[in-house]
């Protein structure tokens, strides 16, 4: 099968399209023919090995000292189950699924084996494979942190970085939970964020939200760029600050994907896709993600015949 292999740490040029052995599912696994995946900021950080968190010795040992221990990156996907292990009961051949493989990576390939009890679920019926692939990471991460902040109907919620993969899902989920949402983004992305349901937009290039008189029940830093101390004056009494930076990996499960599936099928959650690239052009996708200016998600179409 074809896969993108990260040969060593470095620029996007270290990514190579190669023929590798097609995996065989174990008794508790399903074999998925991948139709679409994404390039996330996390993929870029691991490939470049340029995040301070990644230099932490245990993480370096886990990922690999000189090159990735798991050379096929990619944390989310959508596709069709082509084979099942003998013990699998939840899924059958032909099921259309979407999944989050997280730190196991492996989605930048034509096939992947996933544990039946992993973060995998039947994909939303009204979503294309590309749309479905753009939801698991951002959607489950946003859901985790909004729940951690104990979001309630009527809360005033500020989402910093509201136009990214996590932020675009967070805006929609916060609205679903009945919150009044303020999105912080650039003017170029204001129309997009408003279309997702944000009640107010703050252009961070022109205004510091912390200087406003408004107070928020939840401040969600969806890009890991603002500190709790910088938000202190903007929090309401008993308000909560949560961030994707340094608060651990979001704990998610298959039920989260089932929940997001229901929201997509009822029109309450939609995938935001900035650009699409074929698998062989994944280096260009990495370069675009590294600009920090993507809107929502950057999708990799693995099977270009799957979207019609």
Q: What is the pLDDT of residues 69-108, one digit of tens each?
A: 899 999 999 999 999 999 999 999 999 999 999 989 999 9
The Cα–Cα gap between 228 and 115 comes to: 37
| Domain-located, residue 258 | no
| Same domain assignment for residues 46 and 69 | yes
**pLDDT tens, residue by residue, 216-266:** 999 999 999 999 999 999 999 999 999 998 765 678 999 999 999 999 999
Whether 156 contacts 217, CB under 8 Å: yes
pLDDT band for position 124 (cuts 50, 70, 90):
very high
**CA–CA distances in Å: residue 185 to residues 15, 50, 83, 242, 258:** 31, 24, 43, 17, 29
Q: Are 190 and 110 members of one domain?
A: no
Q: Check whether residue 36 and residue 154 sit in a common domain.
A: no
Residue 52 has pLDDT above 50, yes or no: yes
Please work out, in degrees rounded to the nearest 5, the angle formed at the alpha carbon of residue 268 by the alpha carbons of 265 and 271.
80
Residues 275 and 131 in one domain: yes
128: containing domain? 2-135+271-301
H or E segment to which residue 221 belongs: strand 216-221
CA terminus-to-terminus distance, the chain: 22
pLDDT for residue 204 is more than 70: yes
Give pLDDT, residue 250. 77
The alpha carbons of the chain give a radius of gyration, in whole angstroms, of: 19
Domain assignment present for 290: yes
Assess contact for 79 and 36: CB atoms under 8 A. yes
- pLDDT at position 245 is 87
User: Which of 226, 243, 260 is where one domain is finished?
Assistant: 243
DSSP state of 109: B
Cβ proximity of 157 and 183 under 8 Å = no
**Percentage of residues in the chain having pLDDT higher than 70:** 93
User: Is the residue at 252 inside a domain?
Assistant: no
Euclidean distance between CA atoms 116 and 113, whole angstroms: 9
Higher per-residue pLDDT: 50 or 281: 281
Domain assignment present for 307? no
State the pLDDT confidence band at 209, using cuts at 50, 70 and 90.
Answer: very high
pLDDT at 303: 84
Q: Are residues 164 and 86 in the same domain?
A: no
Q: Report the CATH number at residue 24.
A: 3.90.180.10
pLDDT(18) > 90: yes
Query: Is the C-alpha dihedral spanning 291, 292, 295, 301 positive or negative?
Result: positive
Please check whether residue 266 lies inside any domain of the structure: no
pLDDT mean across residues, the chain: 93
Judge whether residue 308 has pLDDT over 50.
Answer: no
Flag whether 81 is in a domain.
yes
């Amino acid at each position: 099968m074809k896969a993108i292999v990260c040969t060593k740490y470095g620029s996007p040029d270290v990514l190579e399209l190669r023929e590798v052995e097609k995996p065989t599912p174990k008794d508790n696994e399903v074999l998925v023919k991948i139709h679409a995946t994404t390039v996330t900021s996390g993929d870029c950080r691991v490939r470049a090995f340029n995040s301070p968190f990644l230099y932490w010795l245990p993480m370096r040992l886990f990922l690999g000292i000189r090159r990735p221990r798991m050379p096929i990156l990619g944390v989310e996907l959508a596709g069709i189950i082509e084979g099942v292990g003998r013990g699998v009961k939840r899924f059958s051949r032909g099921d259309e699924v979407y999944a989050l493989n997280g730190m196991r990576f492996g989605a930048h390939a034509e096939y992947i084996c996933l544990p039946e009890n992993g973060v995998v679920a039947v994909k939303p019926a009204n979503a294309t494979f590309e749309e479905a692939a753009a939801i698991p990471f951002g959607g489950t991460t946003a859901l985790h942190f909004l729940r951690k902040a104990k979001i309630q109907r009527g809360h005033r919620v500020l989402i910093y970085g509201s136009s990214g993969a996590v932020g675009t899902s967070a805006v929609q989920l916060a609205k679903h939970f009945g919150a009044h949402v303020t999105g912080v983004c650039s003017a170029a992305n204001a129309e997009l964020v408003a279309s997702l349901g944000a009640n107010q937009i703050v252009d961070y290039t022109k205004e510091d939200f912390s200087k406003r008189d408004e107070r928020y029940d939840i401040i969600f830093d969806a890009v890991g760029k603002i500190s709790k101390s910088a938000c202190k004056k903007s929090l309401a009494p008993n308000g909560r600050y949560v961030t994707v930076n340094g608060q651990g990996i979001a704990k998610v499960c298959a039920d989260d994907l089932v929940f997001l599936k229901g929201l997509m099928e009822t029109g309450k959650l939609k995938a935001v896709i900035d650009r699409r690239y074929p698998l062989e052009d994944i280096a260009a996708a990495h370069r675009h993600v590294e600009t920090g200016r993507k809107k929502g998600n950057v999708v990799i179409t693995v099977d270009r015949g799957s979207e019609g």
